[in-house]
Chain A
Amino acid sequence: MRSYIALLGLILTLSGQFNMLLAGKKHSCEKLLADLGDAQSKFIYCATTKSVPVNLCEGCVDLYRNLTNDYGNLIANANCSKRYLNSDRINIVATTQGILTSLWQKANCENCFRDNFWIVYSDNSTKLQNCLESASSDLVCFKCKNDYVSLNDFYLSMEKKVGGSVCFDLQDNMNRTRLNWSKTLKCCQREVKLTNFLIAVGVVVLLPIFTFYITAVVVTKRREANHGLLNEQEPELDAPSTSTLITAAVLSTSTEDPVAISARTEKIANVLIGAGTHLLDESSDEEPPRGKKVAHSPASDYSSDDEPLEKPKRA
């Protein structure tokens, strides 16, 4: 029977119906909810009032613990959690709690309480504050430098340990300290001394960069000067264009040594004469014009006629 009731209750709750059977538990649930609301409002008050300079983690840690406790209690009670969580679209309880928790997490507050970070940091910080207050204004940089550096070093080591997510209280405090140190007190004296660097840049630019390109240009010009052709014009990296070739072909006269031509044609003529009869037998039907011409023309004439004959194909 009990299980039936519980099952029914579950069904009814899920369907959003108000179940009179759970009325007995209602009282305690309401109390838990009220506790949570109270804790939330206190935490919010604390967080807002301690927002600048940020003192969230250290100042509100107790309230936050209460808040998580109350929320835990509410969750732990199965009936209440059923009733207040995922009850409707807006889901107020979970949303407000989520906002507050995320605020806490965004500030990396838990990292404040790891490894006594907070205590060591505040020790160092107080030391520095005391020093800053006690020292006269013209000596403050010199006197408090050690304190500042040790605080800074501690901060950096802490940053390394927590992987950059330092508790925001400390971040804020450190930022303020640094700003105070460097802007207000003007103690961060970094000197712009770049003479050596500039000399080095000059050397680098002049020697390798300029030398390299100038050498390359000079050597190439030298090399090209050895080629008479390349001296005047751009080196021909590409083959000449088709149209250039054609124009050149049309314009050019014989580039060949006439002696060579006549020597060769003479040779051909000899062959032809030697094989004269054979030629007529074999190929008279194929190339009568040539055969006849060859037979009774001087060698030079023959060459000028012959060459075009093999040329008509390509232009």
Chain B
Amino acid sequence: MDDRKALITLDGESSAEDDPIILQKEAGPTSKAVQDFGLHQREEPSTSALARRATLSGNNHLLDDSQPLLMGNNSVPPDIPINGSAGSPNRNINSSEPIFHLRSRTAAASTPNYESLDYEVCENTLFQDEQRKRLTERFSLRKDIIRWIIFIQIGIITALIACTIDIIIEELSIRKYTFLYNSVKENVPLSDASDRDLLIPYLYWLLFSIVPVAFGAAMVTYIEPITAGSGIPQVKSYLNGVKIPRIVRIKTLAVKAIGVITSVVGGLAGGKEGPMIHAGAVVAAGISQGKSTTFLKDFRIFKAFRDDHEKRDFVLGGGAAGVSAAFGAPIGGMLFSLEEAASFWNQNLIWRTLVASIISVFTLNIVLSAYHGLNDFTFTGLFNLGKFDTPLKFDYFELPIFMILGVTGGLLGAAWNSLNTKINKFRKRFIPWKIGKVLEAVVVAMMGVTLACLMIYFINDCRPLGNDPTNNPVQLFCEDNEYNAVAALWFQTPEATVRSLFHDPPGSHKILTLALFTVVYYVLSCATFGLNVSLGVFIPTALVGAAWGRLLAMLTYYVFPQAEFLHPGKYALIGAAANLGGVLRMTISLSVILMETTGVETSFFFPLIIALISAKWVGDYFNEGIYDTQIQVNHVPMLTWEPLPQYKGLKAREILSKPVICIKIRDSANYIYEMLKKCDHNGFPVVDDVCGDRRSEGRVCGIILRSQLIVILLKSLYVENKRFWLPETSIQTFRDLYPRFPSIKSVRKLDEKINYTVDLSMFMNPSPIRVNPHDSVPRIFQIFRALGLRHLLVINHENRIAGIITRRDFIYK
């Protein structure tokens, strides 16, 4: 460690100096220590050899014929995961040739190569021209108005999609469970009709689970694997600035919708809320762009919103609209997107998000009220947990009990998270095949059906008919005029089960029934989350919580029959809140969502918050929330709210990557072409005052993105043919190709244009954010995080490039 520090300091000093000789001198004495590091780096010598050769050969050609050849032999694949110690040759070497695959020591962070999104608006000359032009227009507010219209549209369309999903699930579930109910009724063995067998309903149930689940899992696995899971972690990462491939495509939306319908109908332990948030995000991203790359259709509208920055805000609104549509909770939806998803927000954005949420809930109410045949638009939400008949009251001595419930929820939730992580680790290692993933979903579905069926057949929990509302009162082995309470729990969708746990009158279930149900559902939901199906985790978590909350109330009542305050519905609600807090670790939005969906009084907010907070604290002691865990397990380079503690006290020069591949402000097309082909970096500082070909020492005057360079090459925006393209080139030229910029491979070889020049002064972003090497890491982290940057240039006192900091450099492994 000491060696490393010494090196870093040395590095910093030498980079601050401009004279290469100093470097040589400094490097001399420490060469012993340095040597070890050098040996670790295998590919380095070849590069240096090559580079020196270039130096020696007079440095006259940057890219003479022999060099690509040499590079081809010796070059390393650009994304070697373990190049944490990627060295940079000293500066006289890198002057001659861009050095590829250079990363800082922290760059080894992620194995799947996630890219960042460009949230920084590229305010180049073209952009400024457009802005000025807009100022002179009569309706200069037009963009803002369009933005509002888009948000409203997002709300409406998200709600319509949510309605469709909901109605289809409802219809299919009713059919399925009615069929099973009748099948059980017809196949109960009677003393005089002994040919009946309860095997038949079991087999039917298996069939009705396996077929949809297999279909859904196959779609998710083979068509669009990104749709697996709830979608909230993905949306969260996206909003944080990580490019999750294919997350906001129309195909993803279709697969997600069908996937969630099939898996909920198939009876897996999951809900449709998470997928709806993802659906909302896709809708938002799609509408705001006014075009669909999948269908090759450009509506020629909303062209001003075609960049990552604008899209991000819309996606946030879409997520909020999705939550609102899923729960019927507009404020909860907005808070959810603020608490869980948003990484960057401001007042206007909150306002627009809230409007999108409210519009979404309103649309949903209209459609669902019409569907349910109500005249007033009062059908609230898909996941309406039902209003409590009597106002929920609590006594002050109950507050400690709520806290105990919260602690229990925290413990159970932390255990759930760690168990789920273990299960998913097992999956990742042992079931890597696609067909295996589909089969596993089927196997888990079968397991669920088997456990449920065993419970129904073996627990004889008979309750008199008519006291509590039951959709399918299965009689089974009960006397006439009684129904089986276990079957009543299982023969409905999980949402309906949550509702009955909240609202069934006391004494609707036996203690044994509920205890077994809790255990079974806990295990099932844990096994289900992480399967390759699109399912949310909200409902099963709430269900487990409601079950054990109710169970605790029943147990306590059993022990102290004089305790009249033990209203099982109330404790089910608190239990659900505690369990949700323990698993998801959200507090504000969860309590608001629970309040909005159950319509409890504002005075009951306090008990909910107590349970949630204690659950969160207890849970946080052990591990992180399930969404963050998922993000971590997938190695998504998410930026946290605060810099990691390992970075406290470090300086910029200790984390930066260098040398940086730069481009001269007027550079040859061939250089750009070759460079883009050889390295897969996204942003390149534009430099001037370059001495010869030593670009990495140039003075920074801007930054240019890979996508822009590709567009320049594709459209041949060279100095030599300026008069042809200059009049019709605007910022739109670059926006047209968004979001799927072609790769450099699609650029034809520059045969006759090989000597052409590119002048970047018009295209580059002239005001990149710059920091000094001696700035502290927490400080630059704040800048990076708050502005949503992708590249952060480090410059020395002469405004010469000293290094570059990207998202990777903040991720510690």
Give the docked Cα–Cα distance between A286 and B692 (Å): 14
Which chain A residue lies CB-closest to B59?
A282
Which residues on the B side are within 8 Å of A296 (C-beta)?
none
Neighbour of B20 across the interface among A193, A212, A237, A287, CB < 8 A: A287
A248 at interface by CB-CB < 8 Å? yes
Neighbour of A261 across the interface among B36, B45, B203, CB < 8 A: B45
A194 at interface by CB-CB < 8 Å? yes
B28 at interface by CB-CB < 8 Å? yes
Q: Is the CB of B197 within 8 A of A289?
A: no
Q: Encode A240-277 as 1/0 by CB contact (under 8 A) with B.
A: 11100110111011111000010011011001100100
* Chain A interface residue bracket vs B: 35 or more
B523 at interface by CB-CB < 8 Å? no
Q: Encode A152-189 as 1/0 by CB contact (under 8 A) with B.
A: 10000000000000000001001100110111000011
Give the docked Cα–Cα distance between A152 and B479 (Å): 14
Q: Is the CB of B35 within 8 A of A304?
A: yes
B87 at interface by CB-CB < 8 Å? yes
B27 at interface by CB-CB < 8 Å? yes
Q: Is the CB of A237 within 8 A of B479?
A: no
Give the docked Cα–Cα distance between A200 and B204 (Å): 12
- Rounded to whole Å, the gap between the CB of B780 and the closest CB of chain A is 19
Q: Is the CB of B443 within 8 A of A242?
A: no
Q: Is the CB of A242 within 8 A of B105?
A: yes
A220 at interface by CB-CB < 8 Å? yes
Q: Is the CB of A249 within 8 A of B59?
A: no
Neighbour of B40 across the interface among A175, A249, A267, CB < 8 A: A249
A21 at interface by CB-CB < 8 Å? no
Q: Encode A85-120 as 1/0 by CB contact (under 8 A) with B.
A: 000000000000000000000000000000000000
- Rounded to whole Å, the gap between the CB of B647 and the closest CB of chain A is 12
B712 at interface by CB-CB < 8 Å? no
- Rounded to whole Å, the gap between the CB of B367 and the closest CB of chain A is 24
Neighbour of B480 across the interface among A178, A194, A220, A310, CB < 8 A: A178
Q: Encode A68-92 as 1/0 by CB contact (under 8 A) with B.
A: 0000000000000000000000000
Neighbour of B88 across the interface among A209, A241, A242, A310, CB < 8 A: A310
- Rounded to whole Å, the gap between the CB of B71 and the closest CB of chain A is 15
Neighbour of A249 across the interface among B85, B439, B476, CB < 8 A: B85
Which chain A residue lies CB-closest to B109?
A239
Q: Is the CB of A282 within 8 A of B56?
A: yes
A191 at interface by CB-CB < 8 Å? yes
Q: Is the CB of A309 within 8 A of B82?
A: no
Q: Is the CB of B3 within 8 A of A245?
A: no
B701 at interface by CB-CB < 8 Å? no
A216 at interface by CB-CB < 8 Å? yes
- Rounded to whole Å, the gap between the CB of A235 and the closest CB of chain B is 6
Which residues on the B side are within 8 Å of A216 (C-beta)?
430-431, 436
B738 at interface by CB-CB < 8 Å? no
List the one stretch of B6-14, B304-312, B610-618, B719-727 in contact with chain A: B6-14
- Rounded to whole Å, the gap between the CB of B668 and the closest CB of chain A is 22
Which chain B residue lies CB-closest to A221?
B430
Which chain A residue lies CB-closest to B813?
A241
Q: Is the CB of B446 within 8 A of A286?
A: no
Q: Is the CB of B189 within 8 A of A193?
A: yes
Q: Is the CB of B198 within 8 A of A197?
A: yes
Q: Is the CB of B35 within 8 A of A310?
A: no
Q: Is the CB of A197 within 8 A of B202?
A: yes
Cross-chain pairs A/B with CB under 8 angstroms, 17 sampled: A183-B479, A213-B443, A245-B108, A246-B85, A249-B37, A261-B45, A278-B56, A282-B55, A283-B92, A287-B21, A287-B24, A288-B24, A289-B25, A289-B28, A305-B31, A307-B44, A311-B34
- Give the 5 A-B CB pairs with smallest separation, nearest first: A189-B191, A311-B38, A178-B480, A308-B34, A182-B479
Since A196-B197, A235-B429, A242-B812 are in contact, a sample of 18 more A-B pairs with Cβ atoms closer than 8 Å, ordered by chain A residue number, is A171-B466, A175-B464, A194-B198, A201-B453, A212-B440, A217-B430, A240-B82, A249-B40, A252-B40, A279-B56, A287-B92, A289-B24, A289-B25, A309-B24, A313-B87, A313-B88, A314-B86, A314-B87
Task: List residues of B whose CB falls within 8 A of some A CB.
Answer: 1, 3-4, 7-8, 10-11, 14, 20-21, 23-28, 30-32, 34-42, 44-46, 48-49, 52-53, 55-59, 81-82, 84-90, 92-93, 104-106, 108-111, 188-192, 194, 197-199, 202-203, 206, 425, 428-432, 436, 439-440, 442-443, 446-447, 450, 453-454, 457-458, 464-466, 476-481, 635, 658-659, 812-813
